[in-house]
Amino acid sequence: MTTIYIMWLRELKRYFRSKSRIVGSLGQPLLFLLALGYGLGSVFAKAGQGNYFDFLAPGIVGMSIIFTAIFSGIQLIWDRQFGFLKETLVAPVGRLNIMIGRTLGGATVATLQGIVVFILAMLFGFRPANWALVPVLLVFMLLVALLFTALGTAIASLLEDMQGFQLIMNFLVMPLFFLSGALFPLSGLPEVLAGLTTVDPLSYGIDSFRALLVGAAHFGLGLDFIALAVITAVFLGAGSYLFSKIQI
């Protein structure tokens, strides 16, 4: 338990020490939120879909979480290249505890990033439909963050170079984001596209955020939770196994 806490605290310290990382990671979510939220708002309203900014905000919160969570795997490769990971792995502690601590730390950072974007959205006019559900939202945000941090750790455990990780992540993250329904409603899609959104784990995260914040869900909050919990457990298991196989 002490090892888990130390690794969790280490990830938090890394986050708060890097002011440029905090500010830089807000640029893309703000661009999407403002440029699309206000730019396409009139089109969305004319289509009879209501306020596009309110529809978009939960999706951008999800976007900030997945980008921060999945790219936390870079820290693992960084530690591997500079020898910090070797020092950690040769310590008389279980690799599982190290992996869990790193994953919890990365998920906490990603959740904090999502909270910051949520607050910024409120500054620009977004308001939750029911404030009493905001604490539940935090639980789902952490669950989504755990899922994608575990995925990032699993992939980083297989790679040794940072450029390769970034290429794979960009190839993976953008389709996950664009197929999640963050930018468009999931109802009425062509059959092939609807099938892809159904197998996208981020779809269930965005859907849960939208259900809790604006009261509109495509899959239903219960199915969202089950899907996220199961996929998170699978990725945590895969990440733990691959992390335990790292050669030093």
- Count of the separate structural domains present in the chain: 1
Q: What is the pTM of this model?
A: 0.88
pLDDT for 84 = 64
pLDDT for 190 = 87
Residue 91, sorted as left (phi over 0), alpha (psi -120 to 50) or beta, turns out to be beta
Segments forming the whole domain that contains residue 123: 2-244
pLDDT for 247 = 66
Q: What are the tens digits of pLDDT across the range 87-146?
A: 666 666 666 777 788 888 888 989 999 999 999 999 988 889 889 999 999 999 999 999
pLDDT for 147 = 93
CB 33 within 8 Å of CB 64: no
SS (H, E, C) 45-88: HHCCCCCHHHHHHHHHHHHHHHHHHHCCHHHHHHHHHCCHHHHH
- Residues in the chain predicted with pLDDT less than 50, given as ranges, are none
Q: What are the tens digits of pLDDT across the range 58-71?
A: 999 999 999 888 88
pLDDT for 102 = 82
pLDDT for 22 = 62
pLDDT for 94 = 66
